[in-house]
Amino acid sequence: MKPVTEEQALSIRIATHGQFAKYEVNDWILKNLNLKKGERILDIGCGNGKQLIPYAKIVGDKGLAFGVDLSEELLEELKEAAKKSKVSIKVKRCGMEELAEGLGKERFDAAASSFAIYYSKDIDKTVSDIHSLLKGGGRAFICGPTEGNNKELADLHVKVAPLPSKFIENTQFMAKTALPTFEKYFKNVKTSIFKNPITFPNKKAVLDYWSSYTLFNEMAKDRFESLLDDYFAKKSTFVTHKIVLGILAKK
């Protein structure tokens, strides 16, 4: 059992990246999307709006920032955040396996999905729907963890417990499953890698992150904690690297 809900875990990970990561992942995402005022963008697995709010600020009132997610709770948080930021957004509770059905006649200049596509239970349909929801010449930018992501944290973890299969699957999904599927549906596909060191200043910060992550293992918590005690007795910081694969696909 995780000590927190999926929604709380997402907030902890976002806060950790905000505090301790060297770079802001949204800067890299926005550069790849090259979003313009007046455009219509669909954010798949938008969560509580880490990307959708910035998209809404760029496209403005004449454009559309449309977010879909399965979590009602995160969509409610997102609506509140949009009100606070005074931006206009549209949201819908919709699984990424049912985008065509959920979005009907809506069409978009751009589609984005950050750290969410590996949740798809039917990647072929998800990508085919993204393709059909884009206008001619539209583009999609999809990103998620890839080989070597959080290797340092995983190396620490294997000293107390085996790597969970979900962690391995999520790390392999982008390159092995998502990329070939985008290549099947889109004529122009390019990839890029984003590397972001996260420097944790103390044991609590590492433990909170690990506890909110796919690596978390209740049975191994005490052993992981004492491993961290030993580590921070000798060193003042712990660094792990986020390695993210971006897929830019043009229609």
The vertex-24 CA angle with 228 and 56, nearest 5°, equals 135
Strand partners, 67: 43, 91
Residue given tokens 């927190």 in the structure block: 4
Residues 6+ apart with CB under 8 A from 54: 26, 30
Q: Rounded CA gap, 240 and 177, in Å?
A: 25
Q: Which of 116, 127, 134, 228 binds ligand SAM (CB under 6 A)?
A: 116
Q: Which stretch binds ligand SAM (CB under 6 A): 70-78, 133-141, 167-175, 242-250?
A: 70-78
Is 70 near ligand SAM (CB under 6 A)?
Answer: yes
Is 216 near ligand SAM (CB under 6 A)?
Answer: no
Is 16 near ligand SAM (CB under 6 A)?
Answer: no
Cα torsion 180, 182, 188, 192 to 10°: value is: -80
Q: Which of 53, 78, 89, 96 binds ligand SAM (CB under 6 A)?
A: 96
Q: Which stretch binds ligand SAM (CB under 6 A): 39-47, 54-62, 82-90, 235-243?
A: 39-47
Is 69 near ligand SAM (CB under 6 A)?
Answer: yes
Is 50 near ligand SAM (CB under 6 A)?
Answer: yes
Distance of closest approach, residue 93 Cβ to ligand SAM, in angstroms: 9
Would you say 75 and 51 are in contact if contact means Cβ atoms under 8 Å apart? no
Q: Which position's Cβ is nearest ligand SAM?
A: 47
Q: Quick one: residue 156, left, alpha or beta (phi over 0 = left, psi -120 to 50 = alpha)?
A: alpha
Binding mask 124-153 for ligand SAM (x = CB under 6 A): ------------------------------
Burial of 21 (0-12, 13-18, 19+ CB in 10 A): middle
Judged by CB, which is closer to ligand SAM: 35, or 74? 74
Residue type, 5: T
Distance of closest approach, residue 179 Cβ to ligand SAM, in angstroms: 19
Q: Rounded CA gap, 81 and 89, in Å?
A: 10
Query: Residues interacting with ligand SAM, by CB under 6 A?
Result: 10, 14, 45-47, 50-51, 69-71, 74, 95-97, 114-116, 119-120
